[in-house]
Amino acid sequence: MTNDKRTHIGKRVAQELLDGDYVNLGIGLPTEAANHIPEGRKVVFQSENGIMGVGPAPAEGQEDKDMINAGGGYITAVPGASFFDSATSFAIIRGKHIDVTVLGALQVDQEGNLANWMIPGKLIPGMGGAMDLVTGAKKVIVAMEHCDKHGNPKILKKCNLPLTAPHCVNLIITEMAVIEVTPQGLLLKEITEGYTLEEVLKATEAELIVPDSLK
Amino acid sequence: MFQLISAEEAAAMIKPHSRIALGGFLAVGTPETILDAIVEAGINNLHIIAITSDYIGKGIGKLVDAHLVKSVQVSHMGTNKNIQDQVNSGEIQSELIPQGTLMERVRAFGAGLGGVLTPTGLGTIVAEGKQIINVDGKDYLLEPAIPSDFALIRAHKADKAGNLIYRKTARNGNPVMAMAGRITIAEVDEILEDEYIDPEAVITPGVFVNYIVLSKEGRK
């Protein structure tokens, strides 16, 4: 993914993180959001290995080998941070104490089903904390490229990969669009400047509800 | 009350086919000194319960590299190609478990419970073959406790009562695993000689700790 796309998605995700929110960012693209929180807005980041109050990456040479996030990257802690064991960490997650979780996806479908952990016969790294996060967080945001690396849609009528959880996604943010999962289906909320409605529809297999304002 | 032993003595207690609850997350907070001794002793056919499969040459990776592992219950093994290869070739049997579920199943065993009810995994392949129990109108998966013979954990400091504190994110699964071993062996940086850990600050009470090994790892 180009840096432009990455930055755009990160900035747009950051708009969804509100003052006072406790947030868990998945590995990879979702972490970009942490770089775009507006000055003065207090968002507290959890990492599921056992910290609330993740700070920025340390300066080179300042890494502490006992300070990592769930992706294994070195982190710092902000003032007010806390450490806890992994059972407590998932009590926080499963117990609906996390306001927003942001994850990547292999596929999302128009019922809000999510597949992001397994490609049978190929990639089986394990679900890690993903199934608990999408089951327990109050709001689930998928942040991803609109299509896969071959240009195939990832927003589908029906996921055909093994699910991470059914009916769990609330919002999809890609470089092309912002799409909300509603009881009526996928509602197109925004089209990124530089893209047309036709391009978004072509890159999306799922049915999209398009409001008049975007036609 | 705990006994102070060497890593070699710890390894000598562990027999082939033992079930080991292993602390750590991506090789942070793993008891490397004890793992080195197990590799040295060549204890094989081990069953490992761990959150991640760490890396080649680190943490559980040391056991995998030496072909000492028969089966694993883990939530993630994407960071270790050797374990993936051994799983794919059938050398290692694996069960992938959502991380929160894994922690609760381990904790349940340590807490004397038969299992836990969790919504995580409903509607996915994790639910296959498992009992669904409805409580007050909501479905949950029945997830059984995971037993272990030994818990091998990594802490920062112990006091003479065996109480433990950890360091930063090296705490991770360690306090949970510590509860779950029929025999728990803690590798620590230091045993306090002249003072006790403030009882308000104790993370793992000494009652869970049977043996302590001094770590040969440097900190930081």
Q: How far apart are CA B75 and CA B96, in angstroms?
A: 5
CB contact under 8 A, B100 and A93: yes
Average pLDDT, chain B: 97
A3-48+85-214 CATH fold: Glutaconate Coenzyme A-transferase (3.40.1080)
The answer to whether A132 contacts B101, with C-beta atoms less than 8 Å apart, is yes
pLDDT for res A123: 66
Q: What is the ipTM of this complex?
A: 0.96
Inter-chain contact B203–A85, Cβ cutoff 8 Å? yes
Catalytic site residue A48? yes
**Do B220 and A49 make contact, defined as CB atoms within 8 angstroms?**
no
Residue whose C-alpha is closest to residue A89's, from A127, A57, A48, A138:
A48
- Compute φ and ψ for A204, nearest 5 degrees: -125, 120
> B61 CB near a chain A CB, below 8 Å?
no
Those residues whose C-beta lies under 8 Å from the C-beta of residue B45, and which sit 6 or more positions away, are B16, B17, B68, B70
By the CB < 8 Å criterion, does A125 face chain B?
Answer: yes
Cβ separation B99–A83 shorter than 8 A:
no
pLDDT, mean of residues B74-92: 95
Is some CB atom of chain B closer than 8 A to the CB atom of A159? no
**Is some CB atom of chain A closer than 8 A to the CB atom of B189?**
no
Q: Binning pLDDT at 50, 70 and 90, where does residue B219 land?
A: low
Q: Which token pair is A74?
A: 């070195």
Q: Which of B137, B136, B147, B127 is nearest to A131 (CA)?
A: B127
From the candidates A48, A111, A175, A205, give the one annotated as an active-site residue. Answer: A48
Which residues on chain A are in Cβ contact (under 8 Å) with B180?
Answer: none
| Per-residue pLDDT at B220 exceeds 50 | no
Region for residue A53 given its phi and psi (left: phi exceeds 0; alpha: psi -120 to 50; beta: otherwise): left
What confidence tens digit (pLDDT) does each residue in B20-75 have? 999 999 999 999 999 999 999 999 999 999 999 999 999 999 999 999 999 999 99
Mutant choice from B49, B83, B124 vs A, greatest count of A C-beta within 10 A? B124
Q: How many Å apart are CA A131 and CA A198, to the nearest integer?
A: 34
Which of B26, B113, B120 would best serve as a mutation to test chain A binding (most A beta carbons within 10 A)?
Answer: B120
Q: What's the sign of the alpha-carbon dihedral B36, B38, B41, B44?
A: negative
| Amino acid occupying residue A147 | C
Q: What is the DSSP letter of A57?
A: P
The answer to whether A212 contacts chain B (CB < 8 Å) is no
B170 vs A66, A69, A128: nearest CB: A66
Exposed, middle or buried, A45 (CB in 10 Å: 0-12/13-18/19+)?
buried
Domain B3-113+145-214 belongs to what architecture?
3-Layer(aba) Sandwich (3.40)
The token duo for A25 is 């960012």
For A160, the closest chain B residue by CA position comes to B124
Q: Sign of dihedral through CA atoms B206, B212, B214, B217?
A: negative
Structure tokens at A168: 């769990």
User: Which of B119, B122, B176 lies at the smallest CB-CB distance from A85?
Assistant: B176
Reported as half-sphere exposure (CB side, CA atoms, 13 A), residue A75 has a value of 27
Tell me the pLDDT of chain A (215 aa) as tens digits.
788 999 999 999 999 999 999 999 998 889 999 999 999 999 999 999 999 999 999 999 999 999 999 999 999 999 999 999 999 999 999 999 999 999 999 999 999 999 999 998 876 799 999 999 999 999 999 999 999 999 999 999 999 999 999 999 999 999 999 999 999 999 999 999 999 999 999 999 999 999 999 99
* pLDDT computed for residue A2 by the predictor: 82
